[in-house]
Chain A
Amino acid sequence: MAVAVDLALQAAQMLLVLALAPLLLGFTRKVKARLLRRRGPPVLQPYRDLLRLIRKEAVIADNASWLFRSGPYMIFAATWVAAALVPTFATGLTFSWAADLIAITALIGSARFFLALVGMDVGTSFGGIGSSREMMFASLAEPATIMIVFTVALVAGSTQLSSIANHMLDHASLRVSLGLALVALIIVAVAENARIPVDNPATHLELTMVHEAMVLEYSGRHLAMIELAAAVKLLLYVSLIACIFVPWGLAPAGASLAAYAIGLAAYVAKLLVGGFVLVLFETSIAKMRVFRVPDFIGIALMLGLLGTLLRFVSGSF
């Protein structure tokens, strides 16, 4: 019985991230439109878009290989597993032993690898540009992520998200190294999700696009998979930040139903706040030139490095 309940909770978590991801995307679009004094699409629009794309026929180029067909599913699967591992409303779920920060980084990295591969598969020039830019950004963003992981792990004594969240709950304190890690993680999240200073998710202008350039050849159900994966990735980063830096409200292992309900409400509130702050940041800043982006992500790398360094030099930072 206990096993069944545990499995049900884990399944609920997996389905929750999938169900909430388009909602978060729709919410950010709506708030952004409102901030620009436009009415904006309804919050549920991303769900409708996905349904429409799934119903449509998938057009595939003649010279596309098997990679082109299977790529979207691999990207989606890797991203979904990574997002489902991050504690959202409760810690200590059945698979929380696998919710390791390094494993999550690796899953995101493999999703990006497949995305870059399928961008180049058909051989159009846009796909190639997009893939090369994505890899240029990733070559700085991934070491930055690893440095953030080191900093957090040095503070909490573990790379497992559940125990990190519990440690943060028990020993809540302001630490300089954690502050540095937070700023660095926000920069990495903005860069990884192709949000505004790095890439504009709402444009098809050839000079600026990175993510859109790679998926330009996709249509139908394949495009639906990629769009859903992008939405899940945004949710993943918001929940990651929420889980590490604001873990309040997370239900501990074996809690009562009421605790889970509180955890769920807190999680939705955190998502809304996170989405709102993201949009506020996006609307107040202009898109960067592509060649300035490495400087921007380099800041994240340096902050991560500084955080790790401070932790090593003295334990009380």
Chain B
Amino acid sequence: MSPHLFDIAHMLAGGLVLLSLAMLYQDRMFGLLNVFALHAIVLSASVAWQGHIQGAPHLYITAIIALVLKAIIIPLALRRIVVRLGIHRTIETVVGVGPTMLAGMGLVALSMVVMLRATQTADPLAREDLAFALSVVLLGLLMMVTRRNAVSQIIGFMSLENGLILAATGAKGMPLVVEISIAFSVLVAFIVIGVFLFRIRERFDSVDVSALDAFRGERR
């Protein structure tokens, strides 16, 4: 098999990491949604490419689910929520962009070191794809930690899940049932979170989660 096939798979996985970093950098809501949609498109391209390399046609279904759900439905729904709730369009971060990006770089380095050490006997290409997937997961977590706005935390969660799908498709032999159930559980989670958003907004006139701390009676 030509090495270019793997090079392209590699490039797509690297592109996902790059887009995760771009999401950390964004400070506007709609910009963030656009980058998230792009993230999902690259993910589905990557999954479809893995299906092509591995000769596993069920991966195409996963790719189509990712494309429809995450690149089209969820960004559009979030956009509607943002418009209807009149959420502040600039995203407040807990720390500045610079330290966040540095932390993100640190996480990427960490996942490379950990993954490449932990899987020394495995196939080298799968190892590096796993390392990329782990860094996408960690960057999603970092995004959930460093944002105050509930909508951007949702996006962090979704991008984390993109990382999980990347890891799952890089490893051969993930059954289709599992993938479909993951995809739909994410959709359910999204609906639940959406309902919560409306509730938070109703009660506090804001989706800034720091308002919840005061309600819980924590001392600031």
Cα of A313 to Cα of B116 in the assembled complex, Å: 8
Cα of A199 to Cα of B150 in the assembled complex, Å: 34
A310 within 8 A of partner (CB): yes
Min C-beta distance of A219 to chain B, whole Å = 40
DSSP class of B's interface residues: helix, strand, loop or mixed?
helix
B108 within 8 A of partner (CB): yes
Cβ–Cβ < 8 Å partners of A179 in chain B? 11, 14-15, 18
Which stretch of B1-9, B71-79, B192-200 is in the interface?
A: B1-9
Is the Cβ of B128 less than 8 Å from the Cβ of A317?
yes
Cα of A196 to Cα of B10 in the assembled complex, Å: 32
> How extensive is the interface on chain A, given as a class?
20 to 34
Cα of A4 to Cα of B89 in the assembled complex, Å: 65
> What 0/1 pattern do residues 275 to 317 of A give for CB contact below 8 A with B?
0000000000000000000110011001101100110011011
Cβ–Cβ < 8 Å partners of B25 in chain A? 295, 299
B175 within 8 A of partner (CB): no
A173 within 8 A of partner (CB): yes
Cβ–Cβ < 8 Å partners of B11 in chain A? 174-176, 179
Cα of A306 to Cα of B14 in the assembled complex, Å: 11
A180 within 8 A of partner (CB): yes
B83 within 8 A of partner (CB): no
Cβ–Cβ < 8 Å partners of A295 in chain B? 25, 97-98
Is the Cβ of A183 less than 8 Å from the Cβ of B98?
no
Is the Cβ of B7 less than 8 Å from the Cβ of A302?
no
Min C-beta distance of B170 to chain A, whole Å = 14
Number of A-B contacts (CB under 8 A): 58
Is the Cβ of A313 less than 8 Å from the Cβ of B112?
yes
DSSP class of A's interface residues: helix, strand, loop or mixed?
helix
Cα of A290 to Cα of B21 in the assembled complex, Å: 22
Cα of A305 to Cα of B21 in the assembled complex, Å: 13
Which of B3, B10, B14, B98 gathers the greatest number of chain A CB atoms within 10 Å?
Answer: B14
Is the Cβ of A174 less than 8 Å from the Cβ of B113?
no
Cα of A142 to Cα of B112 in the assembled complex, Å: 26
Is the Cβ of A314 less than 8 Å from the Cβ of B101?
no
Is the Cβ of B14 less than 8 Å from the Cβ of A299?
no
Count residues of B near A (Cβ-Cβ below 8 Å).
25
B window 86-110: CB within 8 A of A: 97-98, 101-102, 105, 108-109
B window 7-45: CB within 8 A of A: 7-8, 10-11, 13-15, 18, 21, 25
Is the Cβ of A180 less than 8 Å from the Cβ of B18?
yes
Cα of A303 to Cα of B14 in the assembled complex, Å: 12
A window 70-125: CB within 8 A of B: none
A window 25-53: CB within 8 A of B: none
Q: Which of B3, B14, B124, B125 contacts A180, CB < 8 Å?
A: B14
Cβ–Cβ < 8 Å partners of A302 in chain B? 21, 101-102, 105
Cα of A16 to Cα of B102 in the assembled complex, Å: 42
Min C-beta distance of B134 to chain A, whole Å = 13
Is the Cβ of B18 less than 8 Å from the Cβ of A183?
yes
Min C-beta distance of A225 to chain B, whole Å = 37
Is the Cβ of B128 less than 8 Å from the Cβ of A314?
yes
Is the Cβ of B7 less than 8 Å from the Cβ of A174?
yes
Cα of A295 to Cα of B125 in the assembled complex, Å: 33
A window 109-147: CB within 8 A of B: none
Which A-chain residue is minimally distant from B102 (CB atoms)?
Answer: A302
Cβ–Cβ < 8 Å partners of B113 in chain A? 313
Cβ–Cβ < 8 Å partners of A174 in chain B? 4, 7-8, 10-11
Cβ–Cβ < 8 Å partners of A175 in chain B? 7, 10-11
Cβ–Cβ < 8 Å partners of B128 in chain A? 314, 316-317
Is the Cβ of A299 less than 8 Å from the Cβ of B101?
yes
Min C-beta distance of B35 to chain A, whole Å = 13
Cα of A310 to Cα of B98 in the assembled complex, Å: 21
Cβ–Cβ < 8 Å partners of B18 in chain A? 179-180, 183, 303
> What 0/1 pattern do residues 108 to 124 of B give for CB contact below 8 A with A?
11001100100000001
Cβ–Cβ < 8 Å partners of B8 in chain A? 174
Cα of A294 to Cα of B4 in the assembled complex, Å: 36
Cα of A173 to Cα of B109 in the assembled complex, Å: 23
Of the A-B pairs whose beta carbons lie under 8 Å apart in the complex, a sample of 23, sorted by A's number, is A173-B7, A174-B4, A174-B7, A174-B8, A175-B7, A175-B10, A176-B10, A176-B11, A179-B18, A183-B18, A294-B98, A298-B98, A298-B101, A299-B25, A302-B21, A306-B105, A309-B105, A310-B112, A313-B109, A313-B113, A314-B128, A316-B128, A317-B10
Interface residues of B (CB under 8 A from A): 3-4, 7-8, 10-11, 13-15, 18, 21, 25, 97-98, 101-102, 105, 108-109, 112-113, 116, 124-125, 128
* Besides A174-B8, A314-B116, A316-B124, 12 new A-B residue pairs in contact (Cβ under 8 A), listed by A number: A175-B11, A176-B11, A176-B13, A183-B18, A295-B25, A299-B101, A302-B102, A305-B105, A309-B105, A316-B128, A317-B10, A317-B128
